[in-house]
Chains A and B, each alone.
Chain A
Amino acid sequence: MSDYEADRPDVTGTRPDAGAKAKDASPWNWLLFVPIVVPLLTPLFNHVAPRLWGFPRFYWLQLAFIILGVGTTTLVYQMTKKRG
């Protein structure tokens, strides 16, 4: 463990002292909870009706959650991307 300690002074000079949190934190990140929680709410999709192209709701709705997942992560990525 001490080997890493020895290296520490090499980089401290190049680091900003404050603002580390601000680099990553964004209110947009909270949106990520939506596609984590929604696909786990079984009462939402544990039904047959309505059918879509023959698929019971259980199957088509869970496949539709993929779009929710892609949409949300893409939105958060775009909104938190470093500018410039």
Chain B
Amino acid sequence: MGDHVTEIVIFTFLFLLVSAMGFFAARWRSPDDMAHLDEWGLGGRSFGGWITWFLIGGDLYTAYTFVAVPALIFGAGATGFFAVPYTVIIYPLVFLVLIRLWSVSHRHGFVTPADFVRTRFGSPTLALIVAITGIVATMPYIALQLVGIEAVLKTMGVTGESALARHLPIIIAFAILAAYTYQSGLRAPALIAFVKDTLIYIVILVAILYVPYKLGGWGSIFDAADAKFKGTPATTDGLLLNANNQIYYISLALGSALALFLYPHSITGVLASRNRDVIKRNMSALPAYSLLLGLIALLGFMAIKSGVKPLPGATQGTVDGNTVVPLLFDQQFPDWFAGIAYAAIGIGALVPAAIMSIAAANLFTRNIYKEYLKRDASPQQEAGVSKITSLVVKLGALAFVVFVNPQYAIDLQLIGGVIILQTLPSVALGLYTRWFHRGALIAGWLAGMALGMWMLYEIPNAASKRAHFGGSAFPLSKFGFDTRWTIYVGLVSVAVNLLVAVLLTLILRAARVPEGIDGTTPDDYFADEGDPRVQPIAATVPGQAAAEEDRRRTTA
């Protein structure tokens, strides 16, 4: 690792700096009592529009953007560009949905999507399913962040031969992350997000201006990519889409867009907004990020032009495509700037990993622990359980890294998407209609999840020759169609989920099975800042909301 000393020193310095900030964050905006879920998990509900914007931006622009998408572009070309239509269609798609969610949550004091489902459909079982789905779906997404950090460390030569040595640096990095998340809760990523975004903007601007200039302009970069894809025997790559992967491309963009705001961590960011207008404004402003995302994606082509050879993968004969962007930086930047760029990627992976694990932990505490295990839990116990759960979720993410080894890291996020999409009928459609029967929603979830898991199981990894869980592009020929088209598993499974839910709703209604009580009224979906709440929650006193909740639950 001799020739990477400068990079390692700068990376380590910045990493330790933000870690120190992470521990210090516990004192930021001095909470009265950190041993409380409201403080630990929601930053005292005191974040304004700007911090919320950073938090939501942080959810979107992660190792996914910096490592996984360029790696897919490098390996497969045009297909990887689906991230651009994905991040374009998502905002108009959720524009009207999220403000309804915000309103009904504001009125009832909901913190998680499971809270909403419980009240809307009068079904603790459905709420439990939504909570578990959210927690499990978050794990592969966190795993993707781990993979991103690992790619950087590997490029700097911080790796080893044995399985333990290979994963040791990342385990240490994650232990530090876990420690300060445990200590400071949501305040840690919120504070670090500022450093992260500053570093990332600097690196992006330099990368998309300086690297193409050094490589001889955009035209020659695309030409080099075209030449590479024409020279490979594979039929799924190319500078453009071909007849076989257009459906996959469309289904990926649409499926990813439908999935994103069902994740617990995205919803946390939205619910922290001050009012409906803030959300609408953010939905108009956030796409500005998409432009950067598109240009970062093209780093994959720059790596082709630059002649980057990815480092070897975990198994014999495979390559680790995730290392292409770090290697490109290593080739094109002076050592000191490469060190900064690596720190940006590493920290850019840590922040969302922290937010995701906190959101998943909140879900567990509110909708599983308090609902089923200990109804009279004190606020201290709640916060304690959340802290421990955030550790467990990170361990789950590590398990995904070890056991699910897709050809492209992006498939970790896409597998998470397959899982979380199964909550679409009850959460997203539930915001619009109470037509579905709660029993039918549960059955639809079962059908969609079973089909999704089977389809994922059936997909082989073309690179490592493993037969199962190798990606998210399902060949339609396995359904018996005479075609080479592939489709994103998530979109198929959620369609089946919906179909089952519709059919069973008709049947259950005909059989007059009780439908449960809808705890919301149509007006709740339009409530805005200043409108009365069902529960008199004083937002000015941090912690009181949860205290109200405790009182209500224990007396109910």
A interface residues (Cβ-Cβ under 8 A, vs B): 1-8, 10-11, 14-16, 20-21, 23-24, 29, 32-36, 39-40, 42, 46-48, 51, 53-56, 58-59, 62-63, 65-66, 68-70, 72-74, 76-77, 80-82
Mask, B115-139, CB within 8 Å of A = 1, is 0001100101000000000000000
Which stretch of B8-16, B31-39, B385-393, B519-527 is in the interface? Answer: B519-527
Contact at A54–B220, with CB atoms within 8 Å?
Answer: yes
Q: Of A32, A46, A59, A81, which contacts B95 at CB under 8 A?
A: A32
Q: Of A5, A59, A81, which contacts B222 at CB under 8 A?
A: A59
Report chain B residues within 8 Å CB of A51: 219
Contact at A20–B556, with CB atoms within 8 Å?
Answer: no
A12 to chain B, nearest CB (A): 8
Contact at A62–B532, with CB atoms within 8 Å?
Answer: no
B218 to chain A, nearest CB (A): 4
Q: Please, could you name 24 A-B residue pairs with CB atoms under 8 Å apart, sorted by A?
A: A1-B119, A3-B552, A4-B108, A7-B534, A15-B521, A23-B526, A24-B96, A24-B100, A29-B96, A35-B88, A39-B85, A42-B250, A54-B218, A54-B220, A56-B240, A58-B78, A63-B291, A66-B87, A66-B287, A70-B288, A73-B283, A77-B281, A81-B277, A81-B280
Contact at A62–B526, with CB atoms within 8 Å?
Answer: no
Mask, B363-400, CB within 8 Å of A = 1, is 00000000000000000000000000000000000000
Contact at A54–B217, with CB atoms within 8 Å?
Answer: yes
B208 to chain A, nearest CB (A): 12
B interface residues (Cβ-Cβ under 8 A, vs A): 78, 81, 84-85, 87-89, 91-93, 95-96, 99-100, 108, 118-119, 122, 124, 217-222, 239-241, 246, 249-250, 253-254, 277, 280-281, 283-285, 287-288, 290-291, 294-295, 298, 516-517, 519, 521-523, 525-526, 532-536, 552-553, 556
Main secondary structure of the interface of B (DSSP, over half): helix
A77 to chain B, nearest CB (A): 5
Nearest CB in chain B to that of A81: its residue? B277
Interface centre among A4, A46, A77, A81 (most CB of B within 10 A): A4
